[in-house]
Chain A
């Protein structure tokens, strides 16, 4: 019976890819292990190997096709001289991968553009659809062109082009002196980066994920954040620590933690967590120019998402939240990937006649409470959305500050939507339960609005 070859998931977060090339023509024999096609994802080009022996009977998806969803049949293998008929047995090709991740809600860029005029852009600024991944790369490249003291170091940032392809093309443009592959020694290379910053250079230290930065947190806090104060203002430490933070998909507890409140707790650091590509670019440029140590929290799920980004050298100031969607009935405060849920929930509750104001914090330290408090004083209700553990989270801090500083304006208790108070489970159904989602935000909004 013919066996279908399915589009494989080649990473925990892959949903679709481009079928770049067929390496075997229809009618040719293949054996297990033969490379039959190449697939491009936004992270890498991967080879697909046959797992069965037979004849490549029919190619279902021609070379060059973009946006092929995971698990779509791409070809059929005929075993023992059978004809290419309806397949009875389904088999995924090697490499075997876990089931594809639960679909990620993609906010429609059109909505964002309509509700979110970019910060003080000159009239006629051209907007270009850009992924968060490209925006981060562009920010680094522009700043490295601008300042010869800026360099990038981290695991796989140079020759591999970045574990998540954020540094694609940088080695080629700037060379090995300024784009530096480090050994897998977070504690050590973070200390080296901080030392270089103390000598006046401007390092960008990439963590493959923030989970691994726990090995380096001593240098981030004890060496980078505190030295200015301990030296009476003498020792500056202009450095950016960046990388993906929070849950990706199906990578379990040690690779799925949100560290936002850990770093936002520390005087001496500035902490940035953008949602859109425009903010990712503008804030990273500001971070690289800033004379302080910056913790820049990205999100792997957002890397592939596209947003309009203003053309040219546009910086976004650190420390300023943004009202992304104005509304009068309730304030929803979020940041990073939480904004996806917040924006989708605002759309949902609008159908019930609730006009939610959505604030993207963008910076977590210093926290722009002015914008949050002014909004709560208008709407009298607040829901915070973040992906972290609920205890001592950014949401906890905001709710506490609102209760302390706008108590008399509140018509309902400040309410948090956050991750559950458990290590991240691996099982798909449990993982889904452990994370916030649009429905949880809608429920919280309805509750504070008595609807």
Chain B
């Protein structure tokens, strides 16, 4: 059994779950490392916000979902797309602004969608996705199905007023939405303590009587256990739930952030002592679920997928110039 989560003991993963979680988190990490490289080489333009360090959050949450559930998030979104099952090639080609990217090159890093995979973006206005996600949950209730929506946002967004407007309606109308706060400790360059009058963000739903809990967002098992609780309640019609994921981003806010607001030591400490992928790796070896060689092979396979995606994203042509005026409106 793992460490406590403020609730029950965290159940261990079965072998298949551990391996699956490891593979998915590693894919996100390798993908983001490659995206960082391509950005440095000038293949990716504009803003590019990497998810490195936070992988256990989306991977654990996704394990509680089923067909028809929806996911929506802000601009640090590549990990969410991969966790939803979107193709690495299509995501990377969108990052490079190419025609076979998920948005045909017209959205970029912050604006990708896959209705088929239940991923509703990819939104660039801080907290804008929270009322939108509440609306997706509204549609589930309107249709009378038992699907739920995960609306992700960060500690920085948690001070935006529209979030509390959404909380109010979600509770008032008992909407099946789980608000996942990814508390990575910094809203751009401002620490939670410097931005928030209260820093226990899982308590932000108290005025609306929305239950919330704090979760070790570096432990994928803890995330999955919390997700199961919250999703289960929402599916039963018990309304919204808040999960505050204690997590950490290793890289800057975006590629252009020199990260002078924290020390190298602070980052290294998390990386060395509490890395979400390393924790799973250790358990896989300890339990004998995988050997060093098998893990090495898995890493090689993932690097292969990511390299393929990177090559594709560089070789794929830019959108045809005729695309400038398409998709502004749809024909009635």
Chain A residues near B (Cβ < 8 Å)? 151, 177, 182-183, 185, 187-201, 218-219, 222-223, 227-236, 267-268, 270, 286, 289-292, 318
Residues of A within 8 Å of B125, CB to CB, are 218, 222-223
Q: How far is the CA of A120 from the CA of B127 in the complex (A)?
A: 47
* B5-13, B21-29, B111-119 - interface stretch: B111-119
Residues of A within 8 Å of B105, CB to CB, are 232
Whether the Cβ atoms of B169 and A189 lie closer than 8 Å is yes
Closest approach, in angstroms, between the C-beta of B151 and any C-beta of chain A? Answer: 9
Whether the Cβ atoms of A188 and B162 lie closer than 8 Å is yes
Residues of B within 8 Å of A233, CB to CB, are 104, 326-327, 330
Can you list, as one digit per residue, whether each of B114-146 has a CB less than 8 Å from chain A (1) or not (0)? 110000111111001011111111111010000
Whether the Cβ atoms of A234 and B113 lie closer than 8 Å is yes
CB<8 Å pairs between A and B, sample of 22: A183-B172, A185-B169, A188-B169, A189-B165, A191-B165, A192-B135, A194-B131, A194-B135, A195-B132, A195-B133, A196-B142, A198-B132, A219-B128, A219-B132, A227-B113, A230-B106, A231-B111, A231-B121, A232-B105, A234-B103, A235-B121, A291-B332
CB contact between A228 and one of B114, B162, B328 (< 8 Å): that residue: B328
Closest approach, in angstroms, between the C-beta of A208 and any C-beta of chain B? Answer: 16
Residues of A within 8 Å of B107, CB to CB, are 230-232
- A183-B169 CB under 8 A given contacts A191-B130, A228-B328, A229-B328: yes
Q: How far is the CA of A268 from the CA of B139 in the complex (A)?
A: 23
Q: How far is the CA of A170 from the CA of B111 in the complex (A)?
A: 37
Closest approach, in angstroms, between the C-beta of A171 and any C-beta of chain B? Answer: 16
Closest approach, in angstroms, between the C-beta of B5 and any C-beta of chain A? Answer: 30
Residues of A within 8 Å of B121, CB to CB, are 227, 230-231, 235
Residues of B within 8 Å of A177, CB to CB, are 142
Residues of B within 8 Å of A230, CB to CB, are 103, 106-107, 111, 121-122
How many A-B pairs with Cβ below 8 Å? Answer: 149
Q: How far is the CA of A214 from the CA of B164 in the complex (A)?
A: 18
Residues of A within 8 Å of B70, CB to CB, are 199
Closest approach, in angstroms, between the C-beta of A181 and any C-beta of chain B? Answer: 10
Residues of A within 8 Å of B130, CB to CB, are 191
Question: Nearest 10 CB-CB pairs, A to B?
Answer: A195-B135, A191-B131, A188-B165, A232-B104, A199-B139, A195-B132, A230-B111, A185-B165, A232-B103, A233-B327
Residues of B within 8 Å of A223, CB to CB, are 123, 125, 128, 132
In the complex, the chain B residue whose C-beta lies closest to that of A192 is: B135
- A232-B101 CB under 8 A given contacts A222-B128, A268-B329: yes
Residues of B within 8 Å of A191, CB to CB, are 128, 130-132, 134-135, 162, 165-166
B191 within 8 A of A: no
Whether the Cβ atoms of B329 and A270 lie closer than 8 Å is yes
Closest approach, in angstroms, between the C-beta of A385 and any C-beta of chain B? Answer: 27
Residues of A within 8 Å of B104, CB to CB, are 232-233
Interface size (B, Cβ < 8 Å)? Answer: 48
Residues of B within 8 Å of A234, CB to CB, are 102-103, 113-115
Residues of A within 8 Å of B166, CB to CB, are 188, 191-192
Whether the Cβ atoms of B169 and A192 lie closer than 8 Å is yes
B168 within 8 A of A: yes
B161 within 8 A of A: yes
Q: How far is the CA of A317 from the CA of B221 in the complex (A)?
A: 55
Whether the Cβ atoms of A196 and B327 lie closer than 8 Å is no
CB contact between A232 and one of B133, B134, B161, B327 (< 8 Å): that residue: B327
Q: How far is the CA of A231 from the CA of B328 in the complex (A)?
A: 10
Q: How far is the CA of A201 from the CA of B145 in the complex (A)?
A: 14
Residues of A within 8 Å of B122, CB to CB, are 230
Q: How far is the CA of A123 from the CA of B160 in the complex (A)?
A: 57
Q: How far is the CA of A199 from the CA of B121 in the complex (A)?
A: 12
CB contact between A267 and one of B111, B113, B328 (< 8 Å): that residue: B328
In the complex, the chain A residue whose C-beta lies closest to that of B328 is: A267
In the complex, the chain A residue whose C-beta lies closest to that of B111 is: A230
Closest approach, in angstroms, between the C-beta of B267 and any C-beta of chain A? Answer: 32
Q: How far is the CA of A196 from the CA of B138 in the complex (A)?
A: 6
CB contact between A235 and one of B120, B134, B332 (< 8 Å): that residue: B120
Whether the Cβ atoms of B329 and A192 lie closer than 8 Å is no
Q: How far is the CA of A177 from the CA of B332 in the complex (A)?
A: 27
In the complex, the chain B residue whose C-beta lies closest to that of A237 is: B330
Whether the Cβ atoms of B328 and A195 lie closer than 8 Å is no
Residues of B within 8 Å of A194, CB to CB, are 131-132, 135
Residues of B within 8 Å of A236, CB to CB, are 330
Whether the Cβ atoms of B131 and A219 lie closer than 8 Å is yes
Whether the Cβ atoms of B139 and A200 lie closer than 8 Å is yes
Whether the Cβ atoms of B135 and A187 lie closer than 8 Å is no
Whether the Cβ atoms of A195 and B136 lie closer than 8 Å is yes
Residues of A within 8 Å of B165, CB to CB, are 183, 185, 187-189, 191
Q: How far is the CA of A350 from the CA of B91 in the complex (A)?
A: 64
Whether the Cβ atoms of B101 and A289 lie closer than 8 Å is no
Q: How far is the CA of A218 from the CA of B165 in the complex (A)?
A: 14
Closest approach, in angstroms, between the C-beta of A389 and any C-beta of chain B? Answer: 27
Whether the Cβ atoms of B162 and A232 lie closer than 8 Å is no
Can you list, as one digit per residue, whether each of B306-330 has a CB less than 8 Å from chain A (1) or not (0)? 0000000000000000000011111
Q: How far is the CA of A219 from the CA of B162 in the complex (A)?
A: 11
